Amino acid sequence: MDEYRGQKVLITGGLGFIGSNLAIRLVEAGASVTILDSLDPTCGANYFNIESIRANVDVVEGNTCDLALVKKLVRGTQFIFNLAGHVSHFESMQEPFADLQMNTIGPLTVLEACKHENREARVIYAGTRQAYGRPASLPLEETQLLKPVDVNGVNKMAGEWYHIVYHQAHGMPAVSLRLANTYGPRQLVKHARQGFIGWFIKQAIEGAEIQVFGDGQQLRAFNYVDDVVDAMLIAGINDRVIGDYFNLGGGQPMTLEAFVQLLLRIAGRGSYRIVPFPPEKKSINIGSVYSSSEKFNAATGWAPRISLDVGLARTVEYYQRCRAHYW
Amino acid sequence: MDEYRGQKVLITGGLGFIGSNLAIRLVEAGASVTILDSLDPTCGANYFNIESIRANVDVVEGNTCDLALVKKLVRGTQFIFNLAGHVSHFESMQEPFADLQMNTIGPLTVLEACKHENREARVIYAGTRQAYGRPASLPLEETQLLKPVDVNGVNKMAGEWYHIVYHQAHGMPAVSLRLANTYGPRQLVKHARQGFIGWFIKQAIEGAEIQVFGDGQQLRAFNYVDDVVDAMLIAGINDRVIGDYFNLGGGQPMTLEAFVQLLLRIAGRGSYRIVPFPPEKKSINIGSVYSSSEKFNAATGWAPRISLDVGLARTVEYYQRCRAHYW
């Protein structure tokens, strides 16, 4: 990743899960990193996430919807990782305007700032598998219709398409990766509202009983955060991906029940129980889902490298060690 | 349409083109109609549009983004035509946040108001063919991917999908029709920013020279506004369409050049010239495009009834007669 050495990089949402892991890798690669983060209490920002690089990054506490601020930050920047956003499907149904603000106005503001100040900057957007909704067939491919089942999915779909439009209309080199079930160190695990994985990990470490909704037979495939960071860094320097969108598929799909069993084995603690969906979650449940990353692999050669065993072991070890900062 | 007799109906954007034609039909059908319109100067609101029913409708001047106001208006209402929005592709690229406000926050506010106050209300959304972008094949069918090419297309896509999501998650009976190239009386014709049809009609009536961008061979199919109003009224009372989205196709596709020639013949005045696209319009141009309404026809039996000759003749006659209110 020598292409990032000495380059100016902006990461929105850089105190959060994926943003902070990305920031650490970019600092290691010799980039000059600025983080913009709103520290919204409903999001995953955590200063401890960047503890190891605290002296080597600029952190700007501010909102990606603040056009004047973002305009200043994008000037002279070569790479922008447009990651700030809200990830809770459930909360998006309760607070749809907050989700809209963060996932629609925020990314659009970043693009608009670049349109005015810096059309050369590569913009890498964190899209989501959620935009597909319930899959028509598996694995999900990019040729399938986007049929989001919750407000978060709608807003993230719009956030992605602004990037495609700004590429086509203004020639700006933007790209979207559709993430799915990313896990690893630095994820918010305090509560279940940002996805089940972090929550399950916390409960396993505590020796608590994990509740698996449905019948536990829903299939998922998981991406270790280092693999996702790799994909983002590759998307930043590979010209073949510009103006397009790509699934990031994970490893072998497995049932939620098998995932939990593996997690409990690795944690050496905890138990689980299969319980019916609460009604308000059932209505936005998407069943079995996993993605094909063949399109991204064909364009870039990327494939996930960290197996679920190894990734989960690293993750459990991280939270055991740094528990005080995440509980 | 006896189903509307004595029913409470709310039309957002009801002073505009399609909204006002719909209001007139609903008043004739015996409905109790309330119009909510912001009179935004960049939109098509015009009090003259509802001149004939002025004494028979309630007009509320206000913004669809005003949740408290919309909550009040949806209480006890049986039908909501969610039409308020911005239609300019070109302006959406220059003022993306204004477009987002009107086409994303507005419709979401109406749905959120219904979620809190009245989940039984039928909500009929005016979607758009624009969400497809450049078609992969013709005619456009609902199985094609949405690939919007401008900010307006992205925001209207999101606006539509909120309706589908609120149906699935909250059981609210919403439906979206994807409109395309609607024309007829009460359209804004003052300038070209709300589509070329009204602008061409005005110029023909004035005996001016119409500029056709590109090579004039782009195909379009046109919908007379009465047919579109029919479709919306049908969508309001047919249970088979709930939770779904449908193209409204027009009549036989024809080239823009042939359309202009027909228009000039009917107006008996004017001329035209084929000129290259200005660069900022070329980048969001979608080429030839027309939709199939087979899906909507199969569900409801709807088909356009007014031929282009008849529709254009009525339209030209209307603007000649009421010119003072539209020029």
Asked which of B68-77, B101-110, B284-293 is least confident by mean pLDDT, the reply is: B284-293
Does A284 have pLDDT greater than 80? Answer: no
Which CA distances in Å does A269 have to A169, A205, A316, B213, B281?
A: 54, 6, 11, 69, 62
Q: What is the pLDDT of residues A55-97, one digit of tens each?
A: 999 999 999 999 999 999 999 999 999 999 998 888 999 999 9
Confidence of residue A194 (pLDDT cuts 50, 70, 90): confident
Confidence of residue B136 (pLDDT cuts 50, 70, 90): very high
Q: pLDDT at position A282, please?
A: 80
Q: pLDDT at position B253, please?
A: 96
Q: Name residue, tokens 């359309």.
A: B259
The answer to whether B186 and B225 have CB atoms below 8 angstroms apart is yes
Q: Which residues touch B88 (CB under 8 Å, ≥6 apart)?
A: B42, B99, B152, B193, B194, B195
Q: pLDDT at position A286, please?
A: 84
pLDDT mean over B57-66: 98
With a pLDDT cut of 70, the percent of chain A lying above it is: 100
Q: Which residues touch A158 (CB under 8 Å, ≥6 apart)?
A: A103, A104, B104, B154, B155, B157, B158
pLDDT mean over B69-88: 96
Contacts of A170 in chain B (CB under 8 A): 283
Beta carbons of B169 and A143 less than 8 Å apart? no
Q: Name residue, tokens 């190239």.
A: B181
CATH topology of domain A2-186+223-251+291-305: Rossmann fold (3.40.50)
CA distance A94 to B129: 30
Q: What is the pLDDT of residues A236-255, one digit of tens each?
A: 999 999 999 999 998 899 99
Does B250 have pLDDT greater than 90? Answer: no
Beta carbons of B169 and A162 less than 8 Å apart? no
H/E element, B162: helix B151-170
Q: pLDDT at position A193, please?
A: 80
Query: How close, in Å, is residue B273 to chain A by CA atoms?
Result: 26
CA distance B126 to B160: 8
Contacts of B164 in chain A (CB under 8 A): 147-148
Q: pLDDT at position A280, please?
A: 78
Q: Where are the domains of chain A?
A: 2-186+223-251+291-305
Query: How close, in Å, is residue A110 to chain B by CA atoms?
Result: 12
Q: pLDDT at position A55, please?
A: 97
CA distance B154 to A271: 45
Does B194 have pLDDT greater than 90? Answer: no
Candidates B93, B161, B162, B284: best to mutate against A (most CBs of A within 10 A) is B161
Q: What is the pLDDT of residues A202-233, one digit of tens each?
A: 999 999 999 999 999 999 999 999 999 999 99
Beta carbons of A153 and B165 less than 8 Å apart? yes
Candidates B140, B151, B155, B157: best to mutate against A (most CBs of A within 10 A) is B151
Contacts of B151 in chain A (CB under 8 A): 108, 162, 165
The answer to whether B181 and B221 have CB atoms below 8 angstroms apart is yes
Query: How close, in Å, is residue B94 to chain A by CA atoms?
Result: 10
SS3 state at B249:
coil
Q: Which of A108, A112, A168 sits opposite B283 (nearest CB)?
A: A168
Tokens of B284: 């969001």
Nearest-CA residue of chain A relative to B109? A97
Beta carbons of B149 and A165 less than 8 Å apart? yes
Q: B2-183+222-250+291-306 has which CATH code?
A: 3.40.50.720
Does B299 have pLDDT greater than 90? Answer: yes
Query: How close, in Å, is residue A274 to chain B by CA atoms?
Result: 23
Beta carbons of B108 and A96 less than 8 Å apart? yes
Q: pLDDT at position A152, please?
A: 97
**Chains A, B: CB contacts under 8 A, how many?**
85
Q: Which of A112, A158, A284 sits opposite B158 (nearest CB)?
A: A158
- Amino acid A5 reads R
Does A192 have pLDDT greater than 90? Answer: no
Q: pLDDT at position B317, please?
A: 98
Q: Which residues touch B238 (CB under 8 Å, ≥6 apart)?
A: B299, B300
Q: Which of A96, A108, A164 sits opposite B112 (nearest CB)?
A: A96
How many C-beta atoms surround the C-beta of residue A212 within 10 A?
19
Candidates A109, A115, A154, A285: best to mutate against B (most CBs of B within 10 A) is A154
**Rg (Cα) of chain B, in Å, rounded?**
19
Q: What is the 3-state secondary structure (H, E, C) of chain A?
A: CHHHCCCEEEEECCCCHHHHHHHHHHHHCCCEEEEEECCCCCCCCCHHHHHHHHHHEEEEECCCCCHHHHHHHHCCCCEEEECCCCCCHHHHHHCHHHHHHHHHHHHHHHHHHHHHHCCCCEEEEEEEHHHHECCCCCCECCCCCCECCCHHHHHHHHHHHHHHHHHHHHCCCEEEEEECCEECCCCCCCCHHHCHHHHHHHHHHHCCEEEEECCCCCEECCEEHHHHHHHHHHHHHCHHHCCCEEECCCCCCEEHHHHHHHHHHHHCCCEEEEECCCHHHHCCCCCCCCECCHHHHHHHCCCCCCCHHHHHHHHHHHHHHHHHHCC
| Percent helix, percent strand, percent coil in chain B, to nearest 5 | 50, 20, 35
Q: How high is the mean pLDDT of chain B?
A: 96
Candidates A151, A245, A284: best to mutate against B (most CBs of B within 10 A) is A151
Q: Which residue has the higher pLDDT, B278 or A23?
A: A23
Query: How close, in Å, is residue A79 to chain B by CA atoms?
Result: 23
Q: Which of A145, A153, A158 sits opposite B154 (nearest CB)?
A: A158
Q: Name residue, tokens 């606006």.
A: B159
The answer to whether A172 and B287 have CB atoms below 8 angstroms apart is no
How many C-beta atoms surround the C-beta of residue B253 within 10 A?
19
Does B322 have pLDDT greater than 80? Answer: yes
Q: pLDDT at position B178, please?
A: 98
Contacts of A145 in chain B (CB under 8 A): 143, 145-146
Q: pLDDT at position A251, please?
A: 86
CA distance A117 to A78: 12
How many C-beta atoms surround the C-beta of residue B282 within 10 A?
12
CA distance A55 to A65: 26
Q: Which of B100, B151, B158 sits opposite A157 (nearest CB)?
A: B158
Nearest-CA residue of chain A relative to B157? A158
Q: What is the pLDDT of residues B82-106, one digit of tens each?
A: 999 998 888 999 999 999 999 999 9
Q: Which of A112, A154, A169 sits opposite B150 (nearest CB)?
A: A169
Nearest-CA residue of chain B relative to A112? B96
Beta carbons of B96 and A104 less than 8 Å apart? no
- pTM here is 0.97
Q: How high is the mean pLDDT of chain A?
A: 96
Contacts of A169 in chain B (CB under 8 A): 93, 149-150, 283-284
Contacts of A149 in chain B (CB under 8 A): 165, 168-169
Question: Among B197, B213, B200, B199, which Cα is nearest to B271's?
Answer: B200
Query: How close, in Å, is residue A264 to chain B by CA atoms?
Result: 33
